[in-house]
Amino acid sequence: MIRFENVTKVYDQKARPALDSINLEIDRGEFAFLVGASGSGKSTFLRLVLKEDRASSGAVYVAGQNVANISSWRVPRLRRGIGVVFQDFRLLPQKTVFANVAFAMQVIGKSRSVIRDTVPEVLKTVGLEGKENRLPHELSGGEQQRVAIARAVVNRPGILLADEPTGNLDPTTSMGIMGVLDKINQNGTTVVMATHDDDIVNEMRKRVVELKNGVVIRDEARALYTSMIPVVGQSRRLRDASGRDEPPAASPRAETRAEARGLRTAGEGQA
């Protein structure tokens, strides 16, 4: 469903690339976590899938199509096939729950009757039945994120990208959100979720792709947030992967965790 072939993305010629020769394939119906410190390239990955940016080299395939070959006036069609959820929900504050979800259908020209039928159904899927007429500020954070998820999937996209969807939520609420995402995944939607939330990753036991400095340093099925590969091995892999200027860490395992925790708060501002 999503395939990266040797993808490199350079924002600034003088700095290291944001993504460095990434090869990655995510199959239809898969659920994948994208983990790694801030600046490791997670957001760049998601932006390339959405064609918000162009890869500096290499090819990005979404649903079998090379996004570089999609002309600018066809980009909206690409994006209709991809739902996106953010850490900060991005709801329209003056619109009700129903209107927020319906908005995604209105702007692509769906008829009123289709909207009337579909929206309640989707709200039910995310567990918000009976709250159609609430305004976003009358909802809890978890409920707001559910509205955002409903909006992302209301047009039945094949792919759902979630950029730290639980970053603003407490652990219990986060698990509720994960339940919703899992349910959507069960219905056949490919889900890619960038996250710093180790508890969730450990709980879900899905595929984990770990990025560091723009390089995939780990890609495991049914994995944990941190690697299960022995410490010594990972240390060499880290060095090899980043190529240079990586100081040999005394205990890379401990370092990665600490870094992840530290950046969990730091990363919130720039989602």
Q: Decide whether 90 or 261 has the Cβ nearer to another protein.
A: 90
Smallest distance from the beta carbon of 83 to another protein, in angstroms?
A: 8
Written as six digits, the tokens of 32 are 């994948």
What residues numbered 59-98 form the site for another protein, per CB under 8 A? 72-73, 75-84, 90, 92
Smallest distance from the beta carbon of 255 to another protein, in angstroms?
A: 35
Written as six digits, the tokens of 29 are 């119906």
Smallest distance from the beta carbon of 30 to another protein, in angstroms?
A: 22
Rounded to whole angstroms, the Cα distance separating 165 from 144 reads: 11
Of the chain, the end-to-end C-alpha distance in Å amounts to 24
106 binds another protein (CB under 8 A): yes
Binding mask 154-173 for another protein (x = CB under 8 A): -x------------------
Inter-residue contact 44 to 58 (CB < 8 Å):
no
Contacts of residue 180, defined as CB under 8 A and 6 or more positions apart, other chains included, come to 125, 126, 127, 146, 149
Rounded to whole angstroms, the Cα distance separating 39 from 9 reads: 13
At 180 the three-state DSSP class reads: helix
221 binds another protein (CB under 8 A): no
Query: Among residues 42, 151, 196, 206, which is the contact residue for another protein, using CB under 8 A?
Result: 151
> Which residue ranges make up the site for another protein (CB under 8 A)?
50, 72-73, 75-84, 90, 92, 103-104, 106-112, 151-152, 155
